[in-house]
Amino acid sequence: MISLGCAKALVDSEILLGGLKQNNVEITQNPEVAETIVVNTCGFLDIAREESVETILQAADLKKSGDIKQLVVMGCLSERYPDELAKEIPEIDRIFGSNNHRDIVSFLTGKDFSQDDPLFFRSLMTPNHYAYLKIAEGCDNGCSFCSIPIMRGLQKSRPIQGIVEEGIRFAENGVKELLIIAQDSTSYGWDLSEKKYLSDLIYALDESLPLSIEWLRIHYAHPAHLSQRIIDAIAATERVCNYLDIPIQHASDKILTSMRRGLGKVKMRERIQRLRNVNPGIALRTTLIVGYPGETEEDFNELYDFVKEMQFDRLGVFTYSEEDDTLAADLKDDVPSEVKDERKAMILDLQAEISAVINQTFIGQTLKVLVDEIGETVSVGRTEFDSPEVDQVVHIKGVVKKGEFCQVKIKDSNEFELFGSPIT
């Protein structure tokens, strides 16, 4: 099983793996000894599509050489371009969408599944101590640059009870951190027959989950939907990490309007300030797009100045990539690629300076750290201010246990790392 793309796609892969294991399918980490390879593709952004196609082609070579018998492709890329994939890569045996778990298991095992079968139990592809908890599928926002609604459809929120039950199952299997994800977590529950809100879900998880789940981490909060009730719920629940992933995308009102983000720079600043006022010390992660069609040097300077003003704790940058059938695809992509790359580098250099200053403030403090990896002399963990894979790490010199929390005295730092020793 090869899973590409975002955490939401990883959850799809984990559900499929659980279904296969329930049916006694043996999973191997080595593609060359497998009979079947399943590739869960990503169709968002050029670089992700290229990685998906390259991975499929590598698997196709194994089939042509007789090392594997079957090649199955699923996910966002195959959902969007099934005919093109089938034509260009004839070695593919079957193509499925993102959520055809039952159909894939039926194809691989020869066993029929009915609609009333119980939900497959997920098989984690993350370390056992943390897991992603997907609370909704799809998106209603219609941002001009984004193809997610085309691939994943409109938002479909899961009922609170089902989410809580899955969280309890994770706790029973040793998970200590749940990462709450959706395309737009802040609009969770709006589409349910009895309208709910993310704040309702936060309180339900905090009240119902076993205490062994110590961290709840919220990702992908749309700034236009960051309501006061959500801000207050984050502050009121100790298990919710003092961390929020809030992608702002840009800070020029002209670009934000063209992007259809629903919020201008002034209102965005107000939301962030309210969030920080109610949640002192909260770490904010954001993502940006540079080189969007029509982005002038003045627009970029507005973005640069806003990043400098807001002092985000964590930040990622994408260069604009045209997505078929989106509104932005009708705009003239008039920013040269070298200018996009230059603007991305400028933002990343600025963020490195900001991060270096912020990290120095932790020297001398003792922080709670979740250990992700064990080394012979130095191990790696994260604070509540850091999400796995995308954020900063703490290098721990001393004896600690993988998947456990420990107290670490911070002794040094750089732009993106902290260094310390465990307190016993």
Using one digit for the tens of pLDDT, what is the confidence trace for 364-411? 999 999 999 999 999 999 999 999 999 999 999 999 999 999 999 999
Structure tokens at 234: 């984050």
- Per the CB < 8 A criterion, the answer to whether 359 and 414 are in contact is yes
- Ramachandran region, residue 57 (left: φ > 0; alpha: ψ -120 to 50; beta: rest): alpha
The answer to whether residue 331 scores a pLDDT higher than 80 is yes
Angle at 189 between CA 183 and CA 190, to 5 degrees: 95
The pair phi, psi for residue 407, each rounded to 5°, is -95, 125
Q: What is the pLDDT of residue 118?
A: 43
Quick one: which of 161, 243, 245, 169 has its CA closest to 207? 161
366-422: which CATH architecture? Beta Barrel (2.40)
Q: Averaged over 240-260, what is the pLDDT?
A: 97
Compute the chain's Rg from CA coordinates.
22
The answer to whether residue 202 scores a pLDDT higher than 90 is yes
Q: Averaged over 230-236, what is the pLDDT?
A: 96
Average pLDDT over the chain, rounded to an integer: 92
The answer to whether residue 189 scores a pLDDT higher than 90 is yes
Percent above pLDDT 70 for the chain: 98
Q: What is the pLDDT of residue 124?
A: 84
Which carries the bigger pLDDT value, residue 43 or residue 83?
83
Q: Averaged over 175-194, what is the pLDDT?
A: 96
Q: What is the pLDDT of residue 352?
A: 97
The answer to whether residue 119 scores a pLDDT higher than 80 is no
Q: What is the pLDDT of residue 95?
A: 92
Q: What is the pLDDT of residue 120?
A: 52
Q: Averaged over 126-146, what is the pLDDT?
A: 92
Which carries the bigger pLDDT value, residue 59 or residue 43?
59
Q: b/e for 196-229, b at 16 or more Cβ within 10 A?
A: bbbbebbbbbbeebeeebbbbbbbbbbbbbbbee
Structure tokens at 122: 């997920």
Amino acid at site 114: S
Percent above pLDDT 90 for the chain: 70
Class of domain 130-360: alpha beta
Amino acid at site 31: P
The answer to whether residue 15 scores a pLDDT higher than 70 is yes
| Domain spans, the chain | 2-109, 130-360, 366-422
CA gap 288, 286 in Å, rounded: 7
Which pLDDT band, with edges at 50, 70 and 90, does 10 fall under?
confident
Which pLDDT band, with edges at 50, 70 and 90, does 117 fall under?
very low
**Start-to-end CA span in the chain (Å):** 40
- Per the CB < 8 A criterion, the answer to whether 233 and 115 are in contact is no
Which pLDDT band, with edges at 50, 70 and 90, does 316 fall under?
very high
Q: What is the pLDDT of residue 115?
A: 43
Amino acid at site 362: F
148-157, 221-230, 327-336: least confidently modelled range = 148-157
The answer to whether residue 20 scores a pLDDT higher than 60 is yes
Q: What is the pLDDT of residue 116?
A: 41
Global pTM reads 0.86
CATH number corresponding to 2-109: 3.40.50.12160
91-100, 117-126, 130-139, 273-282: least confidently modelled range = 117-126
- Per the CB < 8 A criterion, the answer to whether 153 and 137 are in contact is yes
